[in-house]
Structure 1
Amino acid sequence: MYIDQTTIINYGILASISWNSNKWEDDPSIEDLKRSKYDYVKDNAHMHESLNFGHDKFPTEEDGYYIGYTPMFNRAPDIKNSRNVQVVFFTSSDYKNSNRKTIIGFYGFPLFGEWFKRTPENKLYKKYDSGNIKAFPENIIFFQNPIVINNEIVQSNNLLPKGKKISQQGFNYLNSDNVYNLIKLALSLNAKNKKLKFFVEKFPLLEKLAKEEFDLEDFISIVGIITADTLKEIEKLEKKMKGQQPEIKQRISNYIERGAISNKVKKLNNYKCSICEALGNPTNSFIKANGDTYIETHHVEPVSTIKTGVLSVTNLMTVCANHHRQLHYGKAQLTENTEKHFKFIIDEKKIFISKVKIE
């Protein structure tokens, strides 16, 4: 089934599993079991997905398949809806890092929809004796550097279908564009993963990825696991940003503008446009479904200048979409930048804007 000639719906699935401190190739730790988000795991002290990425360590079945598990498939996906699925990504919440959600790897060209019994002789196969998804080991890829995601990231990077949020109770279907973007991010993060590159080369939809030259200093490689949700994390980004290309710096700027710090700045400014306010006008924007006024954040000193502090909160201001574009492309000039305020000349009018402070 197609949305158009290039986008295939339900081409992939994003399914969650419990966190395993031993990289899903051995028993979980006691803390993993106690802090799992799944009641079955906590109640039974048993994590069936413990060997999901043990495909290079444990024996395969006679037919060459390696068996894995996700609680999301305990109720099998609808056969009709999942007939196009070529990749199943696994996501897990890292309780050791503020429960940040990460995509840790995938099964390519998988079989699922029923229970599969593990038959080879192995002591751990007696404990973890079956699963509900399988793939050939060469198509099972573990990310040494996982993809950090949240609902802001998946929408801004087109990692889920438009309007969808990460499922809390089941799994998400992905269209072919989402799959493409996820694997592109995985490549940027795991540039030395030869197995991932080989998978891309033989995967029809991703042929053009194999032909692209990926900048190893790409945005995701720089950001890594930094969420830009605290002042200290933004300071880390500022240090890592030095010496990068202008495009990369701008993407880091955009990343921060969508983060938790940005949301705090918006809240402190009561979701108002600083320029509209300075001009004595109501904020020129609309009301979102949650009741907040839609507002954006803007780095006053361009990130590309590499000046110390360009990623800091004191360089952020809140603006409506119209004034945001005007600051970038219109008749607007920053004439003063002090510890406490900015001074602009916009359409020949002098405007003073107080800076935001977050302790």
Structure 2
Amino acid sequence: MKIGLVGFAGSGKTTVFNAMTGLGVPVGFGGELRLGTVRVPDARLDALSAHYSPRRTTHAEIRFCDIPGEYGAARKGLSPRGLQQIREQEALCLVLRDFENPALGEPPDPGGELAAFETECLLADLDIVERRLDRALKEGADPVELAAFERARDTLERERPLRTVPPGELGRAPFRGYGLLTDRPLLVLLNRSEARAEEALPSELAARLAAVGAAGLALSAPVEAEIADLEPEDRAAFVEALGLREPALARFIRKAYELLDLISFFTVAGPEVRAWTIRRGTRAKRAAGRVHSDMERGFIRAEVIPYETFASHGSEQAVREAGLLRVEGKDYVVADGDILHIRFNV
């Protein structure tokens, strides 16, 4: 999963990136896209690893992309290069400043920054959609594609992000490859001072985010960076002392999974226990392809053990003896926490 971090100059975007990834890249350093990968914590995977003692345990991962250029510096808008880098992400994370920064000479305005970002994205998408419609009318495009882009244009002209339109109202297949920004899932981080680290997201901002089909959470990037620098055994006490329930990274990952409608399934094969991320609603044959293309191509069946069943019985053998191992075909919809043994032949 690739999540692009964007934000106005002074928002603390790179500090957030460092807190999430632990990389410690220089703040204010421009230039190339910065990448950082974090493991998705999962107690179920840890329990499976403890049970099977594999040589390798592989967590699901999130790749954070710190988009350079501070897209909104001086409110000049999105550069062509920045636009392309943002379009390549599966989801967007907008960092809003909610702390005083004397170097900027103006008070924080998270609501204004959110509105400015949404406007930039709406205009960028509208430009793509209108150009595609112009070509489609000249070339005699497929009526389904033409209708989809006309609906998209009408939606954007009403200043409504495409992500707010249900799938039944807006067929999205024709949009593949265009990287429409307002159709990307959006997660907003409200970056606060250390003194306000434990405060919740304001209700008025939460309502605005809901209106544009986005999710949000509040954090203090300096505090989270300090948490990330601590040894694992010291983090819990530090987080509790600050009045926080858990580090922001854990909350961020949950929000991202909810926003993208993602779930995890597990495989136990020889030397490795591994978590795999798929969209909710994925069928068994397609899920097998996440493990290896040969498994999807030669799919025969999936032997399924829900994690809760495994945990309550204590072992795979006990599940089999209880007659609770299920054999499912290619159209089985994989559930969160399923342990899959894929049978295939190529």
Q: What's the TM-score, normalizing by structure 1? A: 0.30
- Structure possessing the higher radius of gyration over alpha carbons: 1
Q: What's the TM-score, normalizing by structure 2? A: 0.30
Structure that is richer in helix per residue: 2
